[in-house]
Amino acid sequence: MILHDLISYDVLRVIWWGLLGVLLIGFALTDGFDMGVGALIPFVGKTDLERRVAINTVGPVWEGNQVWFILGGGAIFAAWPPLYAVSFSGFYLAMFVVLAAFIVRPVAFKYRSKRDDPRWRTSWDWALFASGAVPALLFGVAVGNVIQGVPFHFTEDLRPVYEGAWYIKFIGLLDPFSLLAGVVSLSMLIMHGGAWLTLKAEGAVQHRARTIGSVAALLAVAAYALAGVWMAYGIEGYRIVGDYITTGPSNPLHFTVEKTATWLTAYGERPWIAIAPAMGIVGGLLTFLGLRAGREISTLLFSKMAILGVISSVGLTMFPFIMPSSSHPQSSLTVWNSSSSQLTLFIMLVVTVIFMPMILAYTAWVYKVLWGKVTTASVHDNSHSVY
């Protein structure tokens, strides 16, 4: 028996679908509070010292957290090549904006405190705000577009073609439902940033973070519930018609796909997946209560629970679809027709099993070393530090 035959092709596909979700959730749980803190900086800090307190809560860890974003992109490229080709083509301008924001962020972190000039520092603070808020919004917008279906198709030689003029590739993404999904994402990460600042900061910064974070938590829950109702009554879903082979070659044109009345039929077929949206709503409400009550560790954990539930609900609701095509449903990408070869997925899984525990262990050690609050006294006494 060939070694990679130890795990069947369909099981490997599901494993990598799950691992992709793990990477995206890991990015949201870690770099998510970085972006949330960035979006909060101009509002939780009224003085330069207060803003430096907020910045120093994420300054030592943001670079490591952003690695999850790189890992997610790499996993899409290696495990789901057609998804990589279509998404990076259709969302090119939006991704360019996100990458521009991520390029500005390290520059802002490094240069903000190089000059003791209020105008200089305020400008970089707003740059940090944009580099946190803009990606958080656009990530949600992208998810909203995927839920509705993306206008693309494959030619007979499997060349992906994204339809529409170049400006539609960005402006066309900003439809009402996708903007609502963007509000869910942005408010959820601001909530997460508020929970992080509640844990890591003190005094006025902590108090303002609790206030704004609690408002964001309620907004996230309300927007998420509204998006669910909208999906139930206003968004068409997709389904595979007839019999299909889960271990066949990765060819989207081999499947027959049609639109259905709603995505929520998945909850009738797999009732257990309702735990995901329940976690999203309950986690958001518990985060609100925790922020209002001044609890710290439990509030951050509830915030993570909400993010886990919200992101998981999208993947579980759409399964086995990864990116449906709104213009040519036949070209829709699913778990069963858009992966790399069985050997590639197996080798990647072996590498992941070896290195993922090392990454998690190192990350846990870093957070343990950096445990504790960032105080105004410690920041004031290190006025010439990087942050």
C-alpha triplet 314, 304, 145: angle, nearest 5°: 25
Q: What pLDDT, on the 0 to 100 scale, is given for residue 1? A: 47
- The pLDDT of residue 386 is above 80: no
Provide the β-strand partners of residue 162.
Answer: 152
Look at residue 139 and give its three-state secondary structure. Answer: helix
**Any idea where the domains of the chain sit in the sequence?**
8-380
Alpha carbon 61 to chain centroid, angstroms: 18
The number of CA neighbours under 13 Å toward the Cβ of 76 is: 18
- pLDDT band of residue 298 (cuts 50, 70, 90) is very high
What does DSSP say about strands 321-323 and 333-334: parallel, antiparallel, or unpaired?
A: antiparallel
Q: What pLDDT, on the 0 to 100 scale, is given for residue 359? A: 86
Q: Other CB atoms closer than 10 Å to residue 103's CB: what's the count?
A: 11
Q: What global pTM score does this model have?
A: 0.92
Residue 157 near residue 137 (C-beta atoms within 8 A):
no
Rounded Cα distance, 202 and 320, in Å: 45
* 3-state DSSP percent of the chain in helix, strand and coil, to 5: 75, 5, 20
- pLDDT band of residue 176 (cuts 50, 70, 90) is very high
The chain-wide mean pLDDT, for the chain, equals 89
pLDDT tens string 240-285: 888 888 888 888 888 888 888 889 889 989 999 999 999 999 999 9
Q: What pLDDT, on the 0 to 100 scale, is given for residue 174? A: 84
- C-alpha distances (whole Å) from 362 to each of 34, 65, 123, 299, 367 are 19, 12, 34, 24, 9
Q: What pLDDT, on the 0 to 100 scale, is given for residue 229? A: 94
- C-alpha distances (whole Å) from 142 to each of 74, 96, 131, 185, 283 are 18, 13, 17, 10, 23
Tokens 């439809």 appear where? 175
Q: What pLDDT, on the 0 to 100 scale, is given for residue 325? A: 92
- The pLDDT of residue 166 is above 60: no
Residue 251 near residue 259 (C-beta atoms within 8 A):
no
Look at residue 259 and give its three-state secondary structure. Answer: strand
Q: Other CB atoms closer than 10 Å to residue 95's CB: what's the count?
A: 18
Look at residue 149 and give its three-state secondary structure. Answer: coil
Provide the β-strand partners of residue 325.
Answer: 150
Among 281, 273, 284, 263, CA closest to 313 = 273
Residue 79 near residue 16 (C-beta atoms within 8 A):
yes
**Helix or strand run (H / E) with residue 142:** helix 118-148
Q: What pLDDT, on the 0 to 100 scale, is given for residue 167? A: 57
**Helix or strand run (H / E) with residue 153:** strand 152-154
Residue 220 near residue 277 (C-beta atoms within 8 A):
no
> What tokens were used for 129?
């705000």
Highest mean pLDDT (candidates 56-70, 153-167, 334-348, 360-374): 334-348
